[in-house]
A and B are shown apart, each in its own frame.
Chain A
């Protein structure tokens, strides 16, 4: 716990159990909430959606002292942004499980507020006007980064905080709705056009298809040697980028 952070906000979204479809907290956002609670007692918890959503009860039990619900009638990025000026640190999960608060919301919000966004954070330490974070990288690697405040931090699902569901807190916390008149509808009309919705696409892996002989596949399976590729250390940025571009063209992974 530290006093150096003046104002912390956590964005929480309404989740859905993947099997039962029952409304619930989004675990990733709950991790962000718990991280916020570990940093300060008094935090601002924001949700864009319906105040009656049973999922919000979960956040109360998980420690949110009060949840402010923002209407989704207009552009929620703008609506959120109006509540988040003068905030030192904004925390959220990587993405919501469904609904209006999914997609690239943290990124859009960071752009709107002109804040630095740090993704995949697993640990936060607060100092005067800055935070030191531990960032998740693949294959067990981690990176320590110092970030000047204000900033928007997106929490990784593997963040090492323990969630504590306490039923008694449901009665202590409260949910309040911020009325739509608080928000300037003129701006949002034009911004609304920036939202493009489309069905989620399966991510395409940028990997060259290789035809290997039976013997090569066997050797690849039984030897621990690196499976090809090259590390480019020489040259300036343009030359390095050219190597990658050549590789992608050679394997027809891009068509320009």
Chain B
């Protein structure tokens, strides 16, 4: 009798789940076409156990809990499918089910424990409440019910059997209805499918995949206006979200009290793809925007009915959310996609952004300056300027930082180091245009593509082996985003290149005289966008400086607030992002913050009470062997020139 009940329930639940999946798939199909193959389904196990696990394992508590809960559940359901689905009713398999459900029960208990105040004072605020608070009970009910019913004992009293059956019914409802009704268990099915049909397949081949996808402007592709403008696999990705809030905890804009919460953003897009309001969202709201006031549907414009424009403009594109997301969701692609539509079809980037974009269109630099002035800082350094008839080994592309008097000090230090290492290099001179990085992050794909094509045309007239830059934004653009427009170059950040010079002995450095406590701030566009965290640290170590790591560093470093055009759109918050970063540095007592990016330098130096901010190149130049006896910068330079 009980056996038949479980069999019937299993097939009923399977049927409901498949119907639910079919219904959900109809919603994903509202999205645009994207390439996919059914065979991609076979990639799921590897991607789940390797790529996804790498992210989840950063938080061991929930990793272990999830292994027990999901592992136990999958094993139990698979065994039920065999034993009851195929109506074998074997006692041995029942024992196996008992073991699996026990493991699941223990896992579910710890899921429950995390959401109570028993182990910590308070469950983490990043977790969503609402139906996510129900989930531990559903899981406990499912595992307990199945455990009791499959116990190979025939002496279950009727009342216990009825209770167990009800528990199993409730738990099965959660699992089977999740995907169709958009409940918490939606994540299991959508998450696995998202792993297979992920929009950035390269991520699973040990490749960095951080470049934005180009728009075909001739075909009138103007970004994301409504949820159905996303590719179907992006919509699927939003549905994979488990609302764990790790993105929220990592988001610099959220921490600064700006109206952005990546978790809410993804949930809003889920609302958009499935039609409804955000009233049922039970997590942290966007600062200053009450929950329940927005609604959307697949063919309705997202901004401002579903998401306010200021939410999109608060993002620094630092990719901390993408780095943290255990479901490998691509938040930044979604945000830039929506920004593109705002900029290209409404011209509505806020504050200083339109002026900057106009300057880029008219002068190919951000502040409307004379491009001849880009290398004025090098005028007394006897530096070659590249031309079509003068091939060089290394082409130095300074970027926008070259107009900034603060960053000119860094560039001068870099030139000093290159000369000391006898590198054959030249600067780009008046041929250099802005890379278009900021324009692209602000959604102005038209200006970006115009600048990219112009730069590539200029590069093509020149002969060089490598491009060197001190600006990680230039690095990212030239190295990762220009290939889509036919510009393939070997591009190196100055930290990478100098580390090579130190390693092969071309650059001789003495121990640094710097005695103050030092930390290193990882630029997002160097670390997360280009996976370069080692060279800056190796360089600092080579001159005898110990790096005291801040609370967040390396690939998980905290943003300075300077990326993605955020200083231009300048969305108000409770505090400024660089203040938070400097607080990180001060909390470990750092007196010097080493940096490797002009944006970070400018942002961190904008904090009034702060440690000294010095670029790696400046710290290294101060330890040049030839200059060890020299006192002033002027003397150092003349020594190097003479040498």
Contacts and interface: CB of A to CB of B under 8 A. Distances in A.
Interface of A: 17, 19-20, 22, 24, 61, 163-168, 171
Interface stretch (B112-120, B176-184, B340-348): B340-348
Interface stretch (B98-106, B283-291, B328-336, B364-372): B364-372
Given A19-B368, A167-B217, A171-B220, 18 more contacts: A19-B369, A19-B370, A20-B362, A20-B364, A22-B363, A163-B354, A164-B348, A166-B344, A166-B345, A166-B346, A167-B343, A167-B344, A167-B345, A167-B347, A167-B444, A167-B446, A168-B222, A168-B344
12 contacts: A17-B362, A19-B363, A19-B368, A20-B371, A164-B347, A164-B354, A165-B358, A166-B346, A166-B347, A167-B343, A167-B446, A168-B222
Nearest to B344: A167
Contacts of A168: 220, 222, 344-345
B402 interface: no
B585 interface: no
A163 B361 CA distance: 15
Contacts of B364: 20
B397 interface: no
A160 to B, nearest CB: 16
A166 B444 CA distance: 10
Contacts of B345: 166-168
B312 interface: no
A20 B217 CA distance: 26
Contacts of B369: 19
B357 interface: yes
B364 to A, nearest CB: 7
A104 B427 CA distance: 46
* A19, A61, A163, A171 — most chain B CB neighbours (10 Å): A19
A164 B345 CA distance: 10
B432 to A, nearest CB: 13
A147 to B, nearest CB: 31
Contact of B354 (A22, A24, A165): A165
Given A20-B362, A20-B364, A22-B362, A165 B357 contact: yes
Interface in B542-580: none
User: Chain B interface residue count: which class?
Assistant: 20 to 34
Nearest to A170: B446
Contacts of B362: 17, 20, 22, 24
The 3 closest A-B pairs by CB, nearest first: A166-B347, A164-B347, A20-B363
B219 to A, nearest CB: 10
Interface in B193-238: 217, 220, 222
Contacts of A165: 347, 354, 357-358
A167 B349 CA distance: 13
Interface in B394-445: 444
Contacts of A171: 220
A172 to B, nearest CB: 10
Interface string B591-634: 00000000000000000000000000000000000000000000
Nearest to B217: A167
Contacts of A167: 217, 222, 343-345, 347, 444, 446
Nearest to A16: B362
Contacts of B348: 164
B363 A17 contact: yes
Which of B344, B345, B357 has the most chain A CB atoms closer than 10 A to its own CB? B344
Contacts of B217: 167
Nearest to B354: A165
Contacts of A17: 362-363, 368
A191 B563 CA distance: 58
A164 B347 CA distance: 6
Nearest to B340: A167
Nearest to A18: B368
B350 to A, nearest CB: 12
Contacts of A164: 346-348, 354
A17 B369 CA distance: 10
A22 B433 CA distance: 13
A19 B371 CA distance: 9
Nearest to A17: B362
A19 B368 CA distance: 7
Nearest to B357: A165
A22 B368 CA distance: 11
Contacts of B446: 167
A14 to B, nearest CB: 13
> Which of A22, A24, A165, A167 has most B Cβ within 10 Å?
A167
A61 to B, nearest CB: 8
Contacts of B354: 163-165
Contacts of B358: 165
Nearest to B223: A168
A133 B21 CA distance: 63
Contacts of B363: 17, 19-20, 22
A61 B358 CA distance: 12
Q: Which of B345, B357, B363 has the most CB of A within 10 A?
A: B363
A165 to B, nearest CB: 5
A22 B358 CA distance: 12
Nearest to A27: B358
A169 to B, nearest CB: 8
A28 to B, nearest CB: 15
Contacts of A24: 361-362
A164 B348 CA distance: 7
Contacts of A19: 363, 368-370
Nearest to B373: A19
A122 B127 CA distance: 53
A22, A24, A166: most-surrounded residue (chain B CB, <10 A): A166
Contacts of B370: 19-20
A34 to B, nearest CB: 12
A17 B362 CA distance: 7
B493 to A, nearest CB: 29
A209 B86 CA distance: 110
B278 to A, nearest CB: 28
A24 B359 CA distance: 11
Nearest to B346: A166
A103 B511 CA distance: 67
Contacts of B343: 167
Most buried by A among B347, B348, B358, B369: B347
